[in-house]
A and B are shown apart, each in its own frame.
Chain A
């Protein structure tokens, strides 16, 4: 169901029904804080750029450069600038403030505005599969996600599906303790499919859990065998639980450049990724590649990771994101 537009206009940029005002304020503060550095960086210069009084040929070139520096990618940057130029001409925009609002609107329009509620639908067991390349931040994101849903009244269990990397299971267990959720694990080197099978059974029977988040080993999307293994993990979920996994989220490091498109494409093809968790946004990286991923692959960003603490996590909101960039 589309969110009513009115909620946007009254200043509620988050527009998420189930959040209370306090949470909204907190989430907004997190995104704002994480983007402060972004703002002070290159993209902040877009703001400065708009303070210049006249639109010249240089305005467009500089704008294009700034977008590219934010990892938006050449094609998307060019497309954005072209659209903006057309709009400026059509609407006969003269004032820089209007041009700025137009660009913001164009950027927001590239990002999905669909509400993220698939995980909130009532089910006996909701299964979330987490995938990504090595070092993107899967385990940390899982802990944050677990905490997020636990605080919303869910009984969450984690499946330690990364049986390959040294001490990955221990890492997940430590996180499980910290955020107060149980971790179902086997020995290192165990078949990830078997771990997931066990975990699902445990959720359904002894644990009476209603949400299972599955950790998987990091893998480069170009590794054929490892991607096949991931497909198997997915099919175990699908066999054991109706319509599972209900979300398959790709964890993407905001520092990643153009290769992120290839990552997203490969993971989508093999395990039908449904959304993105964008991590490490607390650095100076802008994560601009998500525009291209949304455009080319239709994958929306669902959550953002903004630090190492379990609370450094928020639902992604395109308006807040773009607003933050331009503030």
Chain B
């Protein structure tokens, strides 16, 4: 898999001396990585070009926030641009007179039929009655599939087999929906290529008859560069009102969403996240943006770090650290700051060059252990925290009682702390590398 963009950017900025303000040269180097990351995430090539240009415009000369490294600053700008492109989530438009006609369109195998079932179920949860319409008379057993889904959900399906032309079926279904006072009609149309003239014409016919207020393009999250052509093709012919991304529960980065948003400008309305019929989620631009960047939730943490870490304090801390003057009191302060930011395992990912170590450390250093360490240090006197060497058997027993742990636990903590002190001192003398990475964190 593609390496985390953050890590790559850190590597780029490691080579650069400049701090404080992003120079054009810094940004150029960083944007190369950004471009690659977006392409690897299947964002369309042209869309990437535009996006990178926008990021560049914003990034050159930008002041680096005191809590961020230059790499983080660039990622933040990219993230914001992605968010802007992805746009706000939108709901179904129930503003007009009922029934709301929803037409699902898309390529073969994008997941329209399953999505029709999911939408119907979703509407029922908000007390709306939907009529499913089997308008795919081409794919073998597509009608049966929708009927089976309808039966499973106990939601009515309008079907007329495979001999009646789809526009006619739709026309009948609409009459039935009006007579039956349904709140919504969901049209499951056949999958088709956007370049298939005959099939696109059929879609236009159905649109003319059904006058749908929602025309949603159902698209596979795994779609590659082709996403722009598909979205543009459907948008030009039938005028989309929204996008639905399916199979988001896989490991695709979902860059196609960016491409499709960019060429259509219509909002993303839902995400399909599993095979079960309730696996439908509203769209969260933030989550999708971080996913496209391949960064998990780290970006949120960067922002949290901005709130939590006091830069001057961090500077002082890192100096103490490398000199080996770091004591348990400092350690506790550090813990408090870290705790303000969220789970430790995610936090460690932020530290440049710590990616590999994270994997080794993470399982042992759980948040539960975090709380235990905190309790132990809290049970010490100030004097003990500043100079743990004075801790004798009796003091240790008192601390153990006070924090509800055993003396062994206290000893373990002290051992770990001494090891860490030694390590830091060595690294402090050893130049860059891990120390550089840690310094970056503390420097913010």
Closest to A219 in B: B275
Known: A166-B148, A220-B247. A257 touches B107 (CB 8 A): no
A165 CB contacts on chain B under 8 angstroms: 145, 275
Question: Do B223 and A171 have beta carbons less than 8 Å apart?
Answer: no
Is A258 in contact with chain B by the CB < 8 A criterion? Answer: yes
Closest to B152 in A: A166
A13 CB contacts on chain B under 8 angstroms: none
The range of chain A's interface size is 35 or more
Closest to B37 in A: A74
Question: Do B220 and A253 have beta carbons less than 8 Å apart?
Answer: yes
Known: A69-B225, A170-B144. A137 touches B109 (CB 8 A): yes
B41 CB contacts on chain A under 8 angstroms: 258
Is B140 in contact with chain A by the CB < 8 A criterion? Answer: yes
Known: A135-B108, A255-B107, A258-B253. A170 touches B141 (CB 8 A): yes
Question: Do B250 and A258 have beta carbons less than 8 Å apart?
Answer: no
When each residue 30-50 of chain B gets 1 if its CB lies under 8 Å from chain A and 0 otherwise, what string results? 000000100111101100000
Total contacts A-B at CB 8 Å: 140
Question: Do A68 and B220 have beta carbons less than 8 Å apart?
Answer: no
A262 CB contacts on chain B under 8 angstroms: 1, 251-252
Give bound CA distance, A280 to B196, whole Å: 13
Closest to B48 in A: A68
Closest to B272 in A: A134
A289 CB contacts on chain B under 8 angstroms: 224
Give bound CA distance, A167 to B151, whole Å: 12
Give bound CA distance, A257 to B219, whole Å: 13
Q: How far is the CB of B441 from chain A (nearest CB, A)?
A: 30
Q: Which secondary structure dominates chain A's binding surface?
A: loop
Question: Do A74 and B40 have beta carbons less than 8 Å apart?
Answer: yes
Question: Do B145 and A167 have beta carbons less than 8 Å apart?
Answer: yes
Question: Do A255 and B230 have beta carbons less than 8 Å apart?
Answer: yes
Chain B, range 231-279, C-beta contacts under 8 Å to A: 247, 249-253, 255-256, 275
Known: A68-B45, A135-B220. A280 touches B39 (CB 8 A): no
Q: How far is the CB of A81 from chain B (nearest CB, A)?
A: 14
B195 CB contacts on chain A under 8 angstroms: 37, 283-284
A113 CB contacts on chain B under 8 angstroms: none
Chain A, range 119-139, C-beta contacts under 8 Å to B: 133-137, 139
Known: A133-B250, A257-B255. A282 touches B109 (CB 8 A): no
Give bound CA distance, A139 to B109, whole Å: 11
Say which residue of B110, B193, B249 sits within 8 Å of A220 (CB atoms): B249
Question: Do B109 and A134 have beta carbons less than 8 Å apart?
Answer: yes
Is B149 in contact with chain A by the CB < 8 A criterion? Answer: yes
Is B226 in contact with chain A by the CB < 8 A criterion? Answer: yes
Closest to B162 in A: A174
Is B229 in contact with chain A by the CB < 8 A criterion? Answer: yes
Known: A171-B140, A262-B251. A284 touches B226 (CB 8 A): yes
Chain A, range 65-83, C-beta contacts under 8 Å to B: 65, 68-71, 73-74
Is B99 in contact with chain A by the CB < 8 A criterion? Answer: no
Known: A68-B39, A134-B109, A137-B108. A256 touches B141 (CB 8 A): no
When each residue 266-296 of chain A gets 1 if its CB lies under 8 Å from chain B and 0 otherwise, what string results? 0000000000000010111110010000000
Question: Do B251 and A259 have beta carbons less than 8 Å apart?
Answer: yes
Question: Do B145 and A257 have beta carbons less than 8 Å apart?
Answer: no
B113 CB contacts on chain A under 8 angstroms: 166
Known: A166-B145, A167-B141. A134 touches B247 (CB 8 A): yes
Give bound CA distance, A41 to B107, whole Å: 18
The range of chain B's interface size is 35 or more
B138 CB contacts on chain A under 8 angstroms: 308
B139 CB contacts on chain A under 8 angstroms: 171
Question: Do B224 and A280 have beta carbons less than 8 Å apart?
Answer: no
Chain B, range 158-195, C-beta contacts under 8 Å to A: 193-195
A69 CB contacts on chain B under 8 angstroms: 44-45, 225
Q: How far is the CB of A297 from chain B (nearest CB, A)?
A: 14
Known: A220-B249, A258-B41, A259-B251. A174 touches B193 (CB 8 A): no
When each residue 131-146 of chain B gets 1 if its CB lies under 8 Å from chain A and 0 otherwise, what string results? 0000000111110111
Closest to B36 in A: A74
Is B121 in contact with chain A by the CB < 8 A criterion? Answer: no
Question: Do B226 and A285 have beta carbons less than 8 Å apart?
Answer: yes
Question: Do A171 and B222 have beta carbons less than 8 Å apart?
Answer: no
A301 CB contacts on chain B under 8 angstroms: none
Question: Do A174 and B275 have beta carbons less than 8 Å apart?
Answer: no
Question: Do A222 and B140 have beta carbons less than 8 Å apart?
Answer: no
Q: How far is the CB of A174 from chain B (nearest CB, A)?
A: 4
Give bound CA distance, A71 to B226, whole Å: 8
Closest to B46 in A: A69
Is B111 in contact with chain A by the CB < 8 A criterion? Answer: yes
Question: Do A220 and B107 have beta carbons less than 8 Å apart?
Answer: no
Give bound CA distance, A203 to B194, whole Å: 41
Chain A, range 240-272, C-beta contacts under 8 Å to B: 253, 255-260, 262-263
B108 CB contacts on chain A under 8 angstroms: 135, 137, 280, 308
Q: How far is the CB of A281 from chain B (nearest CB, A)?
A: 11
Among all A-B residue pairs, the 4 with the closest Cβ atoms: A257-B224, A135-B109, A257-B42, A171-B141
21 residue pairs bridging A and B, Cβ less than 8 Å apart? A71-B42, A71-B225, A74-B36, A133-B247, A134-B111, A135-B220, A166-B144, A166-B146, A167-B141, A221-B251, A222-B250, A255-B220, A258-B42, A258-B253, A262-B1, A262-B251, A280-B108, A282-B193, A284-B193, A286-B226, A308-B108
Using a CB–CB cutoff of 8 Å, the interface residues on chain A facing chain B are 37, 41, 65, 68-71, 73-74, 133-137, 139, 164-168, 170-171, 173-175, 178, 188, 220-223, 253, 255-260, 262-263, 280, 282-286, 289, 308
Other A-B contacts than A260-B224, A286-B226, 19 sampled, CB-CB below 8 A, are A135-B220, A136-B109, A166-B144, A168-B145, A220-B249, A221-B250, A222-B249, A256-B220, A257-B224, A257-B225, A258-B42, A263-B222, A280-B109, A280-B193, A283-B193, A284-B229, A285-B224, A308-B108, A308-B138
